[in-house]
A and B are shown apart, each in its own frame.
Chain A
Amino acid sequence: MTALLDVRDLRTHFKTDDGIVKAVDGVNFAVESGQTVGIVGESGCGKSVTCLTIMGLNEARNTESSGEVLFNGENILDASPGKLRRLRGSEIAMIFQDPMTSLNPVHSIGRQLVETVQLHEDMSKKAARGRAVEALKEVGIPRAETRINDYPHQFSGGMRQRVMIAMAMINDPKLLIADEPTTALDVTTQAQILALMKKLQDEHGTAIVMITHDLGVVAETAHDVVVMYAAKVIEHGSVDSIFKNPHHPYTWGLLGSLPRLHADVERLTQIPGQPPSLLRPPKGCRFNPRCPYVMNICKQKLPELMPVPGEIDHEQACFLDEETKAREIARLKEIVMAETA
């Protein structure tokens, strides 16, 4: 089966006054209908830019993109603005991190929903409105018939994100890109929003690209996981292989910094240092300045993504030998087990 979205060697470079920022530097991943791929990484690692590039929403003036974005087998990276515009909101929809600012404050949500329908379908206002009410009901907005006349500021954060989801799903898109959809919400609301997205995915067979820095969200929703670091994919595989057999020290760091309910620890493990500047990334492996296992070769050569021996569809980019890795994975598991015991 060919993937619905197949991103190949995607590169996005921004020209700035200080030089060229390689915000996305050779990213590959694919997602099939009804599946979810999680893109994980710290702030500024290029995960959001990846998605904005897929949508064609980067500022055209200072951006250069290369590679391929195959949607339904067709490369949309070099599609005309008009064609991209028709895809956006109908075939590919997107929801954003901050529901408080993502809706236009001066228009009623009804108007914003109706606009989304009418941009893509020749439909009367009345019919579009009917569909908007249905969409609001589907995402669990109570009294949708009257609330459709309300303005964004009259909704809570969780409700606004539901409205955003309704707006994204109203034209029944094949692909939904969710850019940290739960980051700005409180924990109970997060769980509701994730459950809602899962329900809609099951009913509509939508493919989802879930961008997050929260491995908990990934564990809950994703089938495949792409771990990004400094504009590059450093590990990718099924959610099982990433959680049970993580192969990159950065992934270990992310897993180690995950809060655990029964853990009896003073403070969470953290990855020391900060992500590198994408203007002048470090030579060799980009994680080497922060990596506790750094070797000489890491400072010389950039590791390529290599298949993990004995596993299918699991790749990683680290020079560390398998033996050390196996030992460290076992140790990590032990810590987790001990903490949760």
Chain B
Amino acid sequence: MFQYLIRRVLWSVVLFLAVTLVTYVLFFLVPANPARQAAGQSASPERVAEVEEFLGLNDPVYVQYYGFLKRLVIDGSLGQSFVDRSSVNDEIFRAAPITASLVFGAMAMVLAISIPIGILSALRPRSLLDRAAMTYVLIGISLPSFWIALVLSYLIGYRLGWTPIAGYCEVVSVPQAANCGGVLDWAYHMILPWFALAIVQAGVYVRFIRAEVMETMSQDYVRTARAKGAPERTVMKDHILRNALLPVVTILGMDIGLLLGGAIFIETVFGLNGLGGTAIRSIGQFDLPTLQGVVIFGAIAIIIFTLIVDLLYAWIDPRIRLS
């Protein structure tokens, strides 16, 4: 178990290096000069060269990469924006809670929708409910998330006026100028984005949970449980779900990690200035340090959540824990 943990952590480091390196290489493959971008449209060539020198863009790529790694590991700093020299750390710390609010709330909603529907579908395959659920799955998988977000925003936010259309409210440390704040306002503003993201994601989960439950129901040990005289409720709770939801934990962890890197479409539609917005802005401005910051944050989120999933898995599945 301990060895397993060490191996996993070492792998995470390799993964981390690979991700940052690829971002660097990709960035320098783009035929554009960040210095020109930073210096402004009307800057003279001398001025651009000065900016290049200042930003360290004249150094070979590996020197820049080394400098970046050194800053990150020794100072824990992601550097400063090419555009306005502001700290990338600050920008990430500002944007991450917004994206995290969106992702965790939406994923909780996904589970609340997909677990009951998935189970009921599996219990009565080809029933009316199952067919309705499968139709929903098809729609959920096929429709682009921004379309659903726009429709929800128009219908529920604008026409019905039940929820705000856009914006984010801080829960703690509400800024003076803000016109909203606190948990209630926060949830009130988040409910539509949550729902939009959840509708799309839940389709995949309903199908997955249905398949897992159906497969587990035909397992021999489920028959054994019935042969022991266990009532259906117990069979479902102790014998089917416990086994069927194991793989759900895996994809849930990966999806959370993935989405934390920025749910760009949903954030944009609902005016949430999270990591997705930061990423798009930094790409447009050739702001390598900020983009790198978002990528690294996303990569770390994925790595951490995969690690959590693996540890959680070992904890709930004795076959992994004890082997």
Seen from chain A, the residues whose Cβ lies within 8 Å of a Cβ on chain B are 55, 57, 85-90, 93-94, 96, 98, 101-108, 115-116, 119-120, 151, 153-154, 164, 167
Q: Which of B229, B239, B243, B322 contacts A119 (CB 8 A)?
A: B229
Residues of B within 8 Å of A104, CB to CB, are 221, 224-225, 238-239, 242-243
Asked whether B226 lies within 8 Å of A86 as measured between CB atoms, the reply is: no
Q: Mark B224-256, 1 if CB is under 8 A from A, else 0.
A: 111111110010001100110010000000000
With A105-B319, A115-B238 given, is the CB distance from A57 to B220 under 8 Å? Answer: no
Q: Assess the B221–A102 pair: CB atoms within 8 A.
A: yes
Interface centre among A55, A57, A107 (most CB of B within 10 A): A107
A121 to chain B minimum Cβ distance, whole angstroms, is: 11
Give CA–CA (A115, B223) in the complex, Å. 15
Whether A88 lies near B220 (C-beta < 8 A) is: no
The residue among B224, B243, B323 with the most chain A CB atoms within 10 A of its own CB is B224
Cross-chain contact B221 with A115 (CB below 8 angstroms)? no
Chain A residues with Cβ under 8 A from B229's Cβ? 85-90, 116, 119-120
Docked Cα-Cα span, A90 to B242, in Å, equals 25
Return the contact of A116 from the options B228, B231, B318 (Cβ within 8 A).
B228
Q: Name the residue of chain B whose CB is nearest to the CB of A151.
A: B318
Checking B227, B239, B317, B323 against A88 with a beta-carbon cut-off of 8 angstroms, the contacting residue is: B227
B219 at interface, CB cutoff 8 A: yes
Sort A-B residue pairs by CB-CB distance and give the 9 closest, nearest first: A89-B229, A89-B228, A88-B229, A101-B220, A151-B318, A104-B221, A94-B227, A102-B220, A116-B228
Q: Shortest CB–CB separation between residue A250 and chain B, in angstroms? A: 29
Distance to closest chain A CB from B275 (angstroms): 36
In the complex the two chains form, is B220's CB within 8 Å of A98's CB?
yes
In the complex, which of the residues B219, B231, B238, B246 contacts A107, with contact meaning CB atoms closer than 8 Å? B238
Chain B contacts for A89, CB-based, 8 A: 227-230
B304-323 interface code vs A (CB 8 A; 1 in, 0 out) = 00000000000011110011
Q: In the complex, which residues of chain B have a beta carbon less than 8 angstroms from the beta carbon of A115?
A: 228, 230, 234, 238
Q: A96-B220, A101-B219 in contact; A106/B317 too (CB < 8 A)?
A: yes
Chain A residue numbers with a CB within 8 Å of B234 are: 115, 119
> Which partner residue on chain B sits nearest A119 by CB separation?
B229
Q: What is the CA–CA distance of A106 and B322 in the complex, to the nearest angstrom?
A: 11
**Total residues of chain B contacting the partner, CB 8 A:** 24
Q: Are B228 and A167 in contact (CB under 8 A)?
A: yes
A57 touches B224 (CB 8 A): no
Task: Report B251-307 residues with CB < 8 Å from chain A CB.
Answer: none
| Residues of B near any A CB (own CB < 8 A) | 219-221, 223-231, 234, 238-239, 242-243, 246, 316-319, 322-323
CA distance in complex: A116, B224 (Å):
10
CB distance from A289 to the nearest CB of B (A): 32
Residues of B within 8 Å of A90, CB to CB, are 229
A119 touches B220 (CB 8 A): no
Contacts of A85 in B (CB 8 A): 229-231
B221 A105 Cβ-Cβ under 8 A = yes
Q: List 20 A-B contacts (CB under 8 A).
A: A55-B227, A57-B223, A57-B226, A88-B226, A89-B230, A90-B229, A102-B223, A103-B221, A104-B221, A104-B239, A104-B243, A105-B318, A106-B242, A106-B316, A106-B317, A115-B228, A115-B234, A116-B229, A151-B319, A167-B224
Q: Which residues of B contact A116 (CB under 8 A)?
A: 228-229
CA distance A88 to B235 in the complex (A): 14
Select from chain A the residue with minimum beta-carbon distance to B316. A106
Q: How far is the CA of A57 from the CA of B224 in the complex (A)?
A: 10
Q: Which residues of chain A have C-beta atoms less than 8 A from B319's C-beta? A: 105-106, 151, 153
With a cutoff of 8 Å between Cβ atoms, the chain B residues found around residue A103 in the complex are 221, 224
Q: How far is the CA of A130 from the CA of B239 in the complex (A)?
A: 23
With CB as the reference atom, state the residue of chain B lying closest to A111.
B238
CB distance from A107 to the nearest CB of B (A): 7
In the assembled complex, which residues on chain A have CB atoms less than 8 Å from the CB atom of B221? 101-105
CA distance A87 to B226 in the complex (A): 11
Q: Which residues of A contact B228 (CB under 8 A)?
A: 88-89, 93, 115-116, 119, 167
- The answer to whether B223 touches A106, judged by C-beta atoms less than 8 angstroms apart, is no
Interface centre among B219, B227, B231 (most CB of A within 10 A): B227
A169 to B111 alpha-carbon distance, docked (Å): 40
The residue on A at minimum CB distance from B240 is A104
- Chain A residues near B317 (CB-CB < 8 A): 105-106
Most buried by B among A96, A106, A116: A106
| Minimum C-beta distance from B83 to chain A (A) | 52
Residues of B contacting A153 in the complex (Cβ-Cβ under 8 angstroms): 318-319, 322-323
User: What 14 additional pairs, Cβ within 8 angstroms, besides A89-B230, A98-B220, A102-B221?
Assistant: A85-B230, A89-B227, A94-B227, A96-B220, A101-B221, A102-B223, A103-B224, A105-B319, A106-B316, A106-B317, A107-B238, A119-B229, A151-B319, A164-B224
| A98 vs B221: C-alpha distance when bound (angstroms) | 10
Q: Given the complex of chains A and B, what is the CA–CA distance between A57 and B235 in angstroms?
A: 13
Contacts of A86 in B (CB 8 A): 229
Q: Please, which residues of chain A bring their CB within 8 A of the CB of B226?
A: 57, 88
Cβ of A23 to closest chain B Cβ, rounded Å: 16
CA distance A57 to B239 in the complex (A): 16
How far, in whole Å, are A57 and B232 apart by their CA atoms in the complex? Answer: 12
B243 touches A57 (CB 8 A): no
CB-based nearest B residue for A85: B229
Contacts of B239 in A (CB 8 A): 104
Chain A residues near B323: list those with CB within 8 A: 153
Which B residues touch A94, using CB under 8 A? 227
Q: How far is the CA of A206 from the CA of B316 in the complex (A)?
A: 38
- Alpha-carbon distance A87/B243, docked complex (angstroms): 26
Contacts of A96 in B (CB 8 A): 220, 223-224, 227
Chain B residue with the shortest CB-CB distance to A91:
B229
User: Do B318 and A93 have beta carbons less than 8 Å apart?
Assistant: no
Separation in Å of the B235 CB from the closest CB of chain A? Answer: 10
Q: Which residue of A lies closest to B229 (CB)?
A: A89
Nearest CB to that of A56 among chain B residues?
B226
Closest CB in chain A relative to B233 CB, distance in Å:
11
